[in-house]
Chains A and B, each alone.
Chain A
Amino acid sequence: MAASGFSSTGMGTETGAIIAGPTATRDTGLTRLRSAGLPLGLAAIVLVAWQLAVTLGHIPPVILPSPISIGKYIYERYDILLMHAVPTTLESAAGFAIATLLGIGLAILITYSEIAREALYPNLVFFQLIPKIALAPLFIIWLGIGSQSRIAFAVFIAFFPVVISTSAGFASVDKSMLRLCRALTANEWQIFSSVRFPAALPYIFSGMKIAITLAIIGVIIGEFITAQAGLGYLIIFATARADTEISMAAIVVLCVCGLLLYGLVALAESIANRFYSAENP
């Protein structure tokens, strides 16, 4: 909320003082260059140091392949990498989507039903305390070696942050706003769609951003255990053959896929912000 100074409370139509626009217009270009340049510069320095260490230090490629050789492998064998990237990305996206829907659904249940809240919440928190990765092999026993077991495991580890942050978002609604809605004879659906849900959006998206990274982890772990394709499978396969170069290349591609999925969530968030952000004029 903006501060309310009494200089701006007159009945007149004075504008300038209180309309907060982009204030630092002078050096935004420079600031942007800096915020993009610094991390890229640091990454470049690390890559060069890595390359030099491998070349000058005569480190065998099995231990640590050089960035250039990894890049060369990606460039030459992008078809193989792409082939393995597709199932990993799709399964992650599917797991994430189900986790999000399930998480929001459970949050609605927790918000609107006291019994559901009392029954579910402690159990959800308790479940969260289990090192869930330990349960991954059980999913193979339960659901077989197909993609359904990897997706199910991704959902299993990714839905929790969505539930927690979404229900916190639903609860964050201003109590007097709810009273206003009741005074206007609004029904529960109207309150949910026009007040609760939009107010919870920032919370939902922060839960989704955690969920997407967890979903990828879930799928990779699933692929480590059993799979015929996928980047996790490729990493395990290559490492077993001491082909570190392939392994590293697969990890690079995995990072790109992760960035892509995360970027899609961030994009959805910025679209939602266009309608539901307090700050967007």
Chain B
Amino acid sequence: MLAVQPALDAMPAAEPLVSVTKVQKTYFTRQAPVQAVASASVDVARGEFVSLLGPSGCGKSTLLMMIAGLEQPTGGSILLGGTEVRQPRREIGVIFQDATLLPWKSALDNVLFPVRILKLPIEPYRRRARELLAMVGLSDFENKKPWQLSGGMRQRVAICRALIHDPDILLMDEPFSALDAITRDQMNVALSEILETYKKTVIFVTHSIREAAFLSDRVMVMGGRPSTIVLDMKKPFERPRRFEIEETPEFAAVCRKLRLTIEEAHGGPSQRPHADQRAGVIE
């Protein structure tokens, strides 16, 4: 494996890699200011998989975009490896809900896209790109264009692309929510396999309780109006995880706890914000 950005490796392991302190985000719209995130504090250790769980419109994507440097917080601070995040940084790999592949480029060239943008040498990374594609079972699809791939395959290419420049942190914004349920389960297993090999710090935004419980070392539930972090659940299960854990009573108990927390934060199941509100708050 290529060591690309060793800068953050020098830090002592005890320090949190990502440190979010009392971050808030208010959008100033024409009618009234909308507070997307009231106050959120999260410390993420190196190698940790943290899920931000909550219903649509709870500000979890906004928080993720602020950590990515794509949105500016209106208060509080976000430190990455001890320095403030003011703009996007190359130690971060981002995966969105849509694969966002360049339609005219092959899977391999799409994986190499960050290499070209960051002006890194193509040849050594071509080998790494092939390795990554093989890892997600797409060796035979290297030269296929996105339209020739299924939705799950495209998202796997996007994951390879996020890993190609070996970022320290993966930020994933509901990466599997556009996929069908069966593919989604497969992607969860695939992602945990990938992370066994390429150890990364992951912040994963999802509105699926099961997904958060299955994947995470820690689940942070976001909710309330205005939105804050209402629960920080550590180590739900041991690693490595097989899909079978989803059938255990422990898994059911964790999911139940998460669901009750979400419902409490939003004043009962009947008053959950409708999915349509999401667009207004996050984008």
Chain B residues closer than 8 Å to A185, beta-carbon distance? 87-90, 117-118
State whether the Cβ of B140 lies closer than 8 Å to any Cβ in chain A: yes
Select the stretch in B36-44, B46-54, B178-186 that faces chain A.
B178-186
Chain B residues closer than 8 Å to A8, beta-carbon distance? 150, 153
State whether the Cβ of A190 lies closer than 8 Å to any Cβ in chain B: yes
Q: Is there contact, CB below 8 Å, between B180 and A6?
A: yes
Q: Is there contact, CB below 8 Å, between A183 and B92?
A: yes
Select the stretch in A44-52, A81-89, A270-278 that faces chain B.
A270-278
* Whole-angstrom CA separation of A179 from B282 in the bound complex: 14
Q: Is there contact, CB below 8 Å, between B100 and A11?
A: no
* Whole-angstrom CA separation of A18 from B146 in the bound complex: 11
Chain B residues closer than 8 Å to A281, beta-carbon distance? 143-145, 148
Report the minimum CB–CB distance from B69 to chain A (whole Å): 7
Q: Is there contact, CB below 8 Å, between B98 and A176?
A: yes
Q: Is there contact, CB below 8 Å, between A184 and B145?
A: no
Which chain A residue lies CB-closest to B161? A180
Q: Is there contact, CB below 8 Å, between A1 and B144?
A: no
Q: Is there contact, CB below 8 Å, between B90 and A1?
A: no
From A10, A20, A277, contact of B186 by CB (8 A): A10
From B68, B143, B150, contact of A183 by CB (8 A): B68
The proximity string for A residues 160-195 relative to B, scoring 1 for CB distances below 8 Å and 0 otherwise, is 000000000000001011011111111000100011
Number of interface residues of A (CB under 8 A): 37
From A5, A177, A183, A279, contact of B102 by CB (8 A): A177
From B139, B147, B150, contact of A5 by CB (8 A): B150
Total CB contacts across the A-B interface at under 8 A: 110
Report the minimum CB–CB distance from A197 to chain B (whole Å): 11
State whether the Cβ of B136 lies closer than 8 Å to any Cβ in chain A: yes
The proximity string for A residues 8-42 relative to B, scoring 1 for CB distances below 8 Å and 0 otherwise, is 11111101001110000000000000000000000
Which chain A residue lies CB-closest to B104? A276
Q: Is there contact, CB below 8 Å, between A275 and B104?
A: yes
* Whole-angstrom CA separation of A198 from B190 in the bound complex: 32
From B88, B136, B153, contact of A184 by CB (8 A): B88
State whether the Cβ of B149 lies closer than 8 Å to any Cβ in chain A: yes
Q: Is there contact, CB below 8 Å, between A179 and B140?
A: no
State whether the Cβ of A129 lies closer than 8 Å to any Cβ in chain B: no
Given A11-B190, A176-B98, residue A19 in contact with residue B104 (CB < 8 A):
no
Report the minimum CB–CB distance from B196 to chain A (whole Å): 14
Q: Is there contact, CB below 8 Å, between B146 and A278?
A: yes
Which chain B residue lies CB-closest to A190? B117
Which chain B residue lies CB-closest to A13? B140
From B92, B97, B113, B149, contact of A2 by CB (8 A): B149
* Whole-angstrom CA separation of A168 from B136 in the bound complex: 37
State whether the Cβ of B137 lies closer than 8 Å to any Cβ in chain A: yes
Q: Is there contact, CB below 8 Å, between A194 and B96?
A: no
Chain B residues closer than 8 Å to A11, beta-carbon distance? 136-137, 186, 190
From A19, A179, A276, A278, contact of B96 by CB (8 A): A179
Q: Is there contact, CB below 8 Å, between B148 and A18?
A: yes
Report the minimum CB–CB distance from B156 to chain A (whole Å): 9
State whether the Cβ of B272 lies closer than 8 Å to any Cβ in chain A: no
Chain B residues closer than 8 Å to A9, beta-carbon distance? 150-153, 179-180, 182-183, 186
State whether the Cβ of B116 lies closer than 8 Å to any Cβ in chain A: yes
* Whole-angstrom CA separation of A184 from B158 in the bound complex: 13
Chain B residues closer than 8 Å to A278, beta-carbon distance? 103-104, 145-147
From B89, B97, B117, contact of A194 by CB (8 A): B117
Chain B residues closer than 8 Å to A10, beta-carbon distance? 186
The proximity string for B residues 160-189 relative to A, scoring 1 for CB distances below 8 Å and 0 otherwise, is 000000000000000000011011001000
Q: Is there contact, CB below 8 Å, between B100 and A174?
A: yes
- New A-B contacts (4) at CB < 8 Å, excluding given A11-B137, A182-B88: A5-B150, A181-B117, A183-B69, A278-B145
Closest 4 CB pairs of A and B: A4-B151, A278-B103, A9-B152, A9-B183
26 example contacts (A-B, Cβ-Cβ < 8 A) are as follows: A1-B103, A2-B146, A4-B180, A4-B183, A6-B152, A6-B180, A6-B183, A9-B182, A11-B136, A11-B137, A11-B186, A19-B148, A174-B98, A176-B98, A182-B88, A184-B114, A185-B88, A185-B89, A194-B116, A194-B117, A195-B102, A198-B102, A198-B104, A278-B146, A279-B147, A281-B145
